[in-house]
Structure 1
Amino acid sequence: MAKPTAKRSPPPIEAIDLFCGVGGLSHGLARQGVKVIAGFDLDPACEYPYTANHPGSQFVHGDVGQVTGKQLTALWSPGAIKLLAGCAPCQPFSSYANTATVDKAKWRLLKEFARLVEECVPDLVTMENVPGLLGTAPFKTFLRTLKQAQYHVAYGVVNAADYGAPQQRKRLVLVASKLGGVDLPKPTHEGASNWVTVRDAIGHLPALTDGEQCAKDPLHLASALSPLNRQRIRASRPGGTWRDWPSKLVAECHRRESGKHSTGVYGRMEWDKPAPTMTTLCNGYGNGRFGHPQQHRGISLREAAVFQSFPDDYLFVQEDKPVVVKTLARLIGNAVPPKLGEAVARSLYASIAALTGTNAASATGAAK
């Protein structure tokens, strides 16, 4: 009787990451065996964290609107499965956006993404963005581009906590393939009993006071609090609101009728639940539920990065360079959680394995 033929390894996937930021999506893809060959971003502050954590990838500083499909195609190796990935800046569609003041020019970036898909026709496409994009004209146009190019498409809103990120973060995820059918990533930590908690994520980090920076990790830095906010955080309980405070500590805006229901600020996290969604202002105690569960301070930049599912040793600042808090908070808050990138990679490899008879585990087991 003939022995069964062992399944061969899948062809390599090579990815180009548009709007790569500090490399959250790239990092997640790479951990699951995808070779990320380049990241593109207009923000020069992204270059050090991207290149320091992805030494085999090229960082291209520039406007994606000036990039051509021919340039991208030249980067992929012959025979590789080509993946074009990205998260176009999402401020116009964010629930935090003031629609009267958002930069509508940023809407064009999704169009540029679609243009590059048309010009270089990658085998695979993935996009991550805010749920508010769903149902909008720019998203419908993007979908139409993919379907006209005969991609199989799957998309939907997922929660990063269901994929192992210690954070409640709902995101629109899209995967598309010219090779055949593709599915959204399958959750690995679905349901509250399986979520990674604040305690799991940051319970091991050194204690800090407000305004203190850890000697061993410059990113473990907590913003200084005003004397009034020091009183407020001491009066706050995990999961509570400013309504728990003595009346003398309540802000004037919350005393007015228009502010009585604005309870999503000046809050402490809870040890045994995931963190709330990290924003570009997540290092500020007064900007959301960003108070440490126990220590009387807002979360540090390192803690914010860990909640985004970056590893503890992810490099954001060059040695002996100052930590620019406002810039790094923005970059961390805008990042794609690497755990979502890992989930996308597993989904893409599974679809390839189903179509080609290859062994998906040989790629997805590349890193744990």
Structure 2
Amino acid sequence: MDQTTTSTEGTSSDSIAVVDLFCGAGGLAYGLKQAGLHVAAGVDLDPSCRFPLETNTGATFVCRDVSAVTADDVIGWFGEASIRVLAGCAPCQPFSTYSQSRKSEDNRWTLLREFQRLAVAIRPEIVTMENVPGLANQSIWKEFVAALEAEGYKVTWREVLCTEFGVPQNRRRLVLLASQLGKIELAGPDTKDLRTVKQVIGELPAITAGGTHPDDRLHTASSLSPINLRRIRASKPGGTWRDWPKSLRAKCHVRKTGKTYPAVYGRMEWNKPAPTMTTQCYGFGNGRFGHPEQDRAISLREAALLQSFPPDYQFLDADDEVTFNRLGTLIGNAVPPKLGEAIGHSIRTHLSQVRDGLPPPQGQLSLF
């Protein structure tokens, strides 16, 4: 197939193929699939990503460092699709708000250049990138956008608040869409009604700290030390450690530097979205990850639901052991599927406009 093919004649659902670089547990891929796109392959260095990606999306998992992936590899994974979508979320730690003290020379930012290398070599019809907002202030981002524009892409990008796309957490993300076929934009939010913690996890069965529900092994909460159990019992939803008796305060809170982090050891609030899920979201002391009512941190399943994964999303094979570090990394690093779904609908709307020469009727997101 000619790499520069851009025709949409005879487009069918099978003629669109997505390759997801840095696919993780499949959050983006799952969202794109829910929007009606065919995800052909996902690439990640972590072998733990194989089971969730393949089981929930049907895509082929490739366990490989993206720096070792060639353009010919990706072209092969696209197969004979006439519309090729290169998607991904290069690891963002160098630009996240949790690592602002890092220098921009941190070699992990070169992963974005690997994504750029493949996009420029392959020239897929559609490119989409999701990442942390802080990346937009870096020269590497400007270089990435300029490289796409030099290849003839129409590029748009903006910061979004995930709550506006049905994700029940206050997570801000940077979303880029680029097309060889014409102007493409991320569709506006479907709703302004924010989903709350209570709406998402309020009906789950109660468990204790260190406990696991017998019907769902991911509905498991980390243990609490005796002093942290006293601390969470002294915590109010939406409050801070400043609400505690002084005898419960940690030494780090007494120091000047610790006083600027009031949200650690906090409880969520039922009637608001959750805070941003991180890879450590299962730990009470790692942020505002205390359950609003029960004396424990949120469970792994609750964290996944707050990331907008469906209740039946499978992260582990039946024989795999549940470990908080492994599952926390898969869940916290994931692209929220509902955001991925919005990106997928935007791509389909764009292709519909290209095919018909007119925008689709209001509310019609289906292309085929």
Using the size of structure 2 for normalisation, the TM-score is 0.92
Aligned ranges 1:234-313 → 2 under 5 Å: 234-313=233-312
Aligned ranges 1:151-166 → 2 under 5 Å: 151-166=153-168
- Report the more deviating stretch, 338-347 or 353-362: 353-362
Aligned ranges 1:206-225 → 2 under 5 Å: 206-225=205-224
Q: Which amino acid aligns with 2:86?
A: L
CA distance, structure 2, for counterparts of residue 344 and residue 328 of structure 1: 25
Partner of 2:3: none
Deviations 1:172-203, CA, capped at 9 Å, x for gaps: 0000000011112311123xxx0111011101
Deviations 1:267-294, CA, capped at 9 Å, x for gaps: 1000011100000100000000000000
CA distance, structure 1, for counterparts of residue 122 and residue 39 of structure 2: 17
Shift of 1:13: 2.2
- Report the more deviating stretch, 101-110 or 81-90: 101-110
Note if contact 1:219-1:302 (Cα within 8 Å) is conserved in structure 2: yes
Q: CA RMSD in A?
A: 1.9
Shift of 1:103: 8.3
- Report the more deviating stretch, 333-342 or 350-359: 350-359
Deviations 1:122-157, CA, capped at 9 Å, x for gaps: 000000001110120111111011000010111011
Shift of 1:249: 0.7
Note if contact 1:33-1:364 (Cα within 8 Å) is conserved in structure 2: no
SS of residue in 2 equivalent to 1:150: coil
Deviations 1:23-57, CA, capped at 9 Å, x for gaps: 000000000100000000001111111111122x1
CA distance, structure 2, for counterparts of residue 99 and residue 43 of structure 1: 26
CA distance, structure 1, for counterparts of residue 182 and residue 148 of structure 2: 13
Note if contact 2:16-2:37 (Cα within 8 Å) is conserved in structure 1: yes
Note if contact 1:17-1:39 (Cα within 8 Å) is conserved in structure 2: yes
Count, aligned residues:
355
Shift of 1:346: 1.1
Counterpart pick for 2:75 among 73, 76, 83: 73
Note if contact 2:44-2:62 (Cα within 8 Å) is conserved in structure 1: yes
SS of residue in 2 equivalent to 1:26: helix
Note if contact 2:11-2:82 (Cα within 8 Å) is conserved in structure 1: no
SS of residue in 1 equivalent to 2:220: coil
2:204 paired with 1:205:
yes
Partner of 1:54: 57
Counterpart pick for 2:88 among 83, 86, 89: 86
Deviations 1:193-234, CA, capped at 9 Å, x for gaps: x01110111011111100001111111110000000100101
CA distance, structure 1, for counterparts of residue 155 and residue 331 of structure 2: 29
Query: CA 1:266 to 1:103, structure 2 compared with 1: closer, same or farther past 3 Å?
Result: farther
SS of residue in 1 equivalent to 2:99: coil
Aligned ranges 1:161-200 → 2 under 5 Å: 161-190=163-192, 194-200=193-199
Partner of 1:24: 27
CA distance, structure 2, for counterparts of residue 365 and residue 297 of structure 1: 42
Query: CA 1:82 to 1:219, structure 2 compared with 1: closer, same or farther past 3 Å?
Result: same
Note if contact 1:349-1:360 (Cα within 8 Å) is conserved in structure 2: no
Partner of 1:140: 142
CA distance, structure 1, for counterparts of residue 319 and residue 204 of structure 2: 22
* Percent of matched pairs sharing the same residue: 49
CA distance, structure 2, for counterparts of residue 311 and residue 61 of structure 1: 25
Q: Which amino acid aligns with 1:33?
A: G
Note if contact 1:166-1:308 (Cα within 8 Å) is conserved in structure 2: yes
Using the size of structure 1 for normalisation, the TM-score is 0.92
